[in-house]
Structure 1
């Protein structure tokens, strides 16, 4: 099973989702059965580490994002990953525009797995510290729901 988290630049929301979801998989004893990655729609930050504020907020919760590096969405991602999960509606629209018709992947909003259908993970880039904490809270809730969805799919 493979999961890809997608935001605009891959330096705030999607690496946070990657780190939090990895931790949730560890807690559920599924880390060996699920591959996780993140990327951005845009190529602005390719090769760069997550935003320092993102790393600091995650580290306060015991999640180290320091080894992650931004990359851009690639066409092969639609064939490699089972889930491509967008942080907001703009990212979701970009995924749908680029998704090949034959792709078997689930393409949707990440927060749908938290029961927040249609809700977005807000971009904290231009805000204060509280925005990064809110992203962590939302991503944590969605990660728990996604772990359960994957567990059901694996066990089916």
Structure 2
């Protein structure tokens, strides 16, 4: 049975699609399934932001086939691990939890690494440089997650 990981941000166009693509590149996809979602339904069915697609491409990843979707209660049943990009989205996810078991599945992505910053900043209103910084943060966290998944 595959381990299933869900990456979640607000619109599912910037951070979580990058996190999905990055983690997929670091795990055996026969053993680990990775998806992404947003807590808001602003962009359902759309591709990730062109700047996320560009920064992923720069690092050898193709995320342009992904399509945005909204996080739902069913995700608690479908996924083993749910990673929120920031505290606001963490709270939005937790507000839909049915029980403690659901809540235990949810973590902040950057809690997986030992750094001072605990939230992946939203690069949407930032420059191209902001997407590169976000990529670097997510990449480090995904290294830690991939390592943990290999040891489980």
TM over 0.5: yes
Task: Give TM-score, length-normalised by structure 2.
Answer: 0.93
1:45 Cα deviation from its structure 2 partner: 0.2
User: Counterparts in 2 of 1:7-156, with a 5 A limit?
Assistant: 7-25=9-27, 30-101=28-99, 103-104=101-102, 106-116=105-115, 119-153=118-152
1:101 Cα deviation from its structure 2 partner: 0.3
Distance 1:5 1:82 in 2: 11
1:115 Cα deviation from its structure 2 partner: 2.1
Distance 2:143 2:78 in 1: 23
3-state SS, counterpart of residue 46 of structure 1 = coil
Distance 1:57 1:93 in 2: 28
Q: State the aligned residue count.
A: 149
Structure 2 CA distance for partners of 1:118 and 1:108, relative to 1, 3 Å: farther
Contact 1:58 1:64 in 2 (8 A): yes
Distance 1:40 1:117 in 2: 25
Contact 1:111 1:117 in 2 (8 A): no
Task: Give TM-score, length-normalised by structure 1.
Answer: 0.91
Q: Which residue of 2 aligns with 1:5?
A: 7
Q: Which consecutive segments of 4 or more residues in structure 1 shift more than 3 A?
A: 102-105
Distance 2:60 2:87 in 1: 29
Distance 1:134 1:123 in 2: 10
Deviations 1:115-153 (CA, angstroms, capped at 9, x unpaired): 237601100000101110011100110001001111222
